[in-house]
Amino acid sequence: MKSKKIIAGLVLVLFAITMVAGCGGDKAPAEKPGEKPASVKVGLNAELSGNVAQYGIAVANAIELAFEEINAAGGADGIKLEVVKYDNRSENAESLNIATRLASQDEVAVIVGPVTSSNAIATIPVSEQFEIPVVTPTGTALDITVDPKTGETRPFMFRTCFIDPFQGQVAAQYAAENLGLKTASVYVDNNSDYSKGLEASFKEAFEGFGGEIVSVEGFVIEDRDFRSTLTKIIGANPEAIFIPAYEEQVSLIISQARELGYTGALLGTDGWDGTKVSEVNTPEALQNAFFTNHYSPESTDPKVIDFVKNYTEKFGSTPTALAALGYDAAYVIADAIAKAGSADPVAIKDAIAATSGLVGVTGTITLDAQHNPIKSAVMLGYNEEGKQTYVETINPK
């Protein structure tokens, strides 16, 4: 009886060993070192449904467009790029699940997305556990690439857009210097890291320019009625209201603020980009409203003109900044895969970190030591027809 147990135990241990060994074997790249793979799988973890679906869809479209172009031109230095795409339903938990699935089941070499900061932050553990680079095209929160506790750069997390503090700073600089405003209120989305991060940087920068923040109020993402809080904000008579939030809420906030008789400046960030703000609001309501953004489709740069033309032909709408960032992220990855010349995630990670002087549609991209790109921002406003229009390019002080 006892010997049987021991044998059973031994079998179990052996079994376990083979399993571990088996796993190890799987992880090693199939090719010999130095030999280029024919294709590399790129995972796409995008918000294709849910609250911020319009962003996820735009980014996914642009990435697929970019990969099609790259593959049509012979691939990334001869390596074809294959996209494995899943929907994370705009949820943190699902973003984590999708990242795990891409890394473990689909064995992709690099993951693009998620699109929003909160969802991107949720995937950090996967990047570390599976040692796989995660590139968020549009997640602007500082903590995505830098651990706030230790101040160290997260080795496998990257972004191809500028960071939150930068946008808050640009908006504050525009309000204080270009518009000459002295007082402002901030109205934030309480559940969003993106919004909270921008609140902090706007406040600091605006006060740095000698302005005064008269009030800070918050809303939650399910809200559709902002009138009560807006009535309170307007009661304090700020010259500007800074609303670092996403278009679905922003479009309603703008119309309700104007309906309550507010005529001061409404300032925002790239979350405003998209078609909803113009669709919901009358052109009159959008006068004296401005937001920071990554690029303007009105640019005369030939690269932008081509991108806008190809995107519009394929998807029937003008690409938003989110789409432009997705497009650039795809090129950053293709560039890194070409340089690494392999499907090894660690080699690709090192190549992404070394990205320098890559000309994209949102500017020239060079990643700094904290995996953030260095580039300028544009300020957009609305014309008499209520359509987005380029105001000026801001280089932060």
Partner 1 sequence: MDIFLQQVINGLSLGSIYALIALGYTMVYGIIKLINFAHGEIYMIGAYIGFFAITALGIGFFPALIISMVGCAILGMVIEKIAYKPLRNSSRIAALITAIGVSLFLQYTGVFFFKAEPKVFPKILSDGRMNIFGTKAYISYQQLTIFVVTILLMLLLQYIVHFTKTGKAMRAVAYDKDAATLMGINTNNTISMTFAIGSALAGAAGVMVGVYYSAITPLMGVMPGLKAFVAAVLGGIGIIPGAFTGGMILGLIEAMVSGYGNSLYRDAVAFFILIVILIIKPTGLFGKNEKEKV
Quick check: 188 and 195 in contact, CB under 8 A?
A: yes
- Give the H/E segment covering residue 218: strand 212-219
Residues 172-191 that bind partner 1 (CB under 8 A): 190
Spatial distance between the Cα atoms of 172 and 213, rounded to a whole number of angstroms: 11
Residues 231-250 that bind partner 1 (CB under 8 A): 231-232, 235, 248
Whose tokens are 């991108």? That residue is 307
Nearer to partner 1, 146 or 233 (CB): 233
* 228 lies in the binding site for partner 1 (CB under 8 A): yes
Using the contact rule CB under 8 A, the part of the chain among 29-37, 50-58, 170-178, 315-323 near partner 1 is 50-58
- φ and ψ of 201, to 5 deg: -75, -35
Q: How far is the CB of 53 from partner 1 (least distance, A)?
A: 5
DSSP per-residue letters across 318-345: ---HHHHHHHHHHHHHHHHHHHH-SS-H
Nearer to partner 1, 53 or 338 (CB): 53
Q: Which of 118, 115, 294 is nearest to 221 (CA)?
A: 118
Nearer to partner 1, 75 or 197 (CB): 197
Q: Count Cα neighbours of 183 within 13 Å in the Cβ-side half-sphere.
A: 10
* 312 lies in the binding site for partner 1 (CB under 8 A): no
Nearer to partner 1, 218 or 396 (CB): 218
* 261 lies in the binding site for partner 1 (CB under 8 A): yes
* 65 lies in the binding site for partner 1 (CB under 8 A): no
Quick check: 132 and 156 in contact, CB under 8 A?
A: yes
Q: How far is the CB of 248 from partner 1 (least distance, A)?
A: 6
* 85 lies in the binding site for partner 1 (CB under 8 A): no
Q: 133 — alpha (psi -120 to 50), left (phi > 0) or beta?
A: beta
Task: Compute CA 317 distance to the chain's CA centroid, rounded to the nearest angstrom.
Answer: 20
Binder among 29, 155, 218, 396 for partner 1 (CB under 8 A): 218
Spatial distance between the Cα atoms of 281 and 256, rounded to a whole number of angstroms: 10
Nearer to partner 1, 97 or 251 (CB): 251
Q: How many residues bind partner 1 (CB under 8 A)?
A: 30
Using the contact rule CB under 8 A, the part of the chain among 20-28, 255-263, 359-367, 373-381 near partner 1 is 255-263
* 214 lies in the binding site for partner 1 (CB under 8 A): no
Nearer to partner 1, 91 or 143 (CB): 91
* 260 lies in the binding site for partner 1 (CB under 8 A): yes
270-273 long-range Cβ contacts below 8 angstroms, 24+ apart = 270/138, 270/140, 270/161, 270/167, 270/294, 270/321, 270/322, 271/194, 271/195, 271/244, 271/245, 271/246, 271/247, 272/246, 272/247, 273/247, 273/320, 273/321, 273/322, 273/380, 273/388
Q: How far is the CB of 203 from partner 1 (least distance, A)?
A: 17
Whose tokens are 């099609």? That residue is 68
Q: Which of 386, 172, 169 is nearest to 258 (CA)?
A: 386
Q: How far is the CB of 236 from partner 1 (least distance, A)?
A: 10
Using the contact rule CB under 8 A, the part of the chain among 10-18, 115-123, 228-236, 370-378 near partner 1 is 228-236
Residue ranges binding partner 1 (CB under 8 A): 49-50, 53-54, 57, 190, 217-220, 222, 224-225, 227-229, 231-232, 235, 248, 251-252, 255, 259-261, 276, 279-280, 282
